[in-house]
Amino acid sequence: MKQTEKILCPVCQVQFVFREEKQIGKKIVCPVCGAVLVLSKENDNWQADRPKDMTPEAEIRERIENFARFRGYKFNQMKEPLVEGLLKKYSRFGDFYCPCKIDNIPENVCPCLETRQGSVEKNGRCHCGLFWK
Ligand SMILES: [Zn+2]
């Protein structure tokens, strides 16, 4: 039984090791970006997909809460307008692209690559002011 195989996060595209017991349909959280994912199995390989039973709002709220908790970041009064901006991007462009960035590319899906790579530590906040040190 291989319990240490890696799982690819479809949100941040990072492979992470998942050591807990794997079950089809089990909800897990990407340790890198905080995305809520659902385990499935295809041709004997475990994979993770974005949940289909969550509203976009529940999905992005859980993701940013998880990410902030992992990193010890805080939110402030800018949070709600930015969550609204993320939901607008989702309904217009199909994913949670950063509301403050023009390019709707995978690197800008919240939490964006820049933020995942430590811009909050450097600047005290992420580009748009959702995450604060
Ligand atoms: Zn991820």
- Encode pLDDT of 39-58 as tens digits: 999 888 899 999 999 999 99
Strand partners, 132: 74, 125
- 90 CA distance to ligand 1 centroid (A)? 17
Residues 74 and 110 in one domain: yes
Identify whether 56 is preceded by a cis peptide bond (ω within 30 of 0). no
Residues 45 and 65 in one domain: no
Residues 68 and 108 in one domain: yes
For every residue of 69-85, DSSP letters joined together read: HHHT-B--TTHHHHHHH
- 29 CA distance to ligand 1 centroid (A)? 8
Q: CA 111, 112, 115 angle in degrees (round to 5)?
A: 85
Residues 98 and 113 in one domain: yes
Residues 72 and 19 in one domain: no
pLDDT value of position 105: 96
State the sign of the Cα–Cα–Cα–Cα dihedral 34, 106, 111, 78: negative
Q: How far apart are CA 51 and CA 128, in angstroms?
A: 26
Residues 69 and 92 in one domain: yes
* Residue 63 forms part of a structural domain: yes
Residue 82: which domain range?
A: 56-123
Q: Are 67 and 12 in contact (CB under 8 A)?
A: no
- 47 CA distance to ligand 1 centroid (A)? 12
pLDDT value of position 11: 96
- 43 CA distance to ligand 1 centroid (A)? 22
Q: Which two tokens stand for residue 63?
A: 């993701």
Q: What percent of the chain has pLDDT over 70?
A: 97
- 12 CA distance to ligand 1 centroid (A)? 4
What's the whole-model pTM score? 0.93
* Residue 80 forms part of a structural domain: yes
Which residues crowd ion ligand 1, with CB under 5 Å? 9, 11-12, 30, 32-33, 35
* Residue 129 forms part of a structural domain: no
Residues 101 and 81 in one domain: yes
Residues 17 and 45 in one domain: yes
Domain of 27, CATH number, reads 2.20.28
pLDDT value of position 104: 97
Identify whether 31 is preceded by a cis peptide bond (ω within 30 of 0). no
- Encode pLDDT of 4-38 as tens digits: 679 999 999 999 998 889 999 999 999 999 999 99
**C-beta neighbour count of 130 within 10 angstroms:** 28
Domain count, the chain: 2
* Residue 128 forms part of a structural domain: no
- 131 CA distance to ligand 1 centroid (A)? 17
First to last CA, the chain: 41
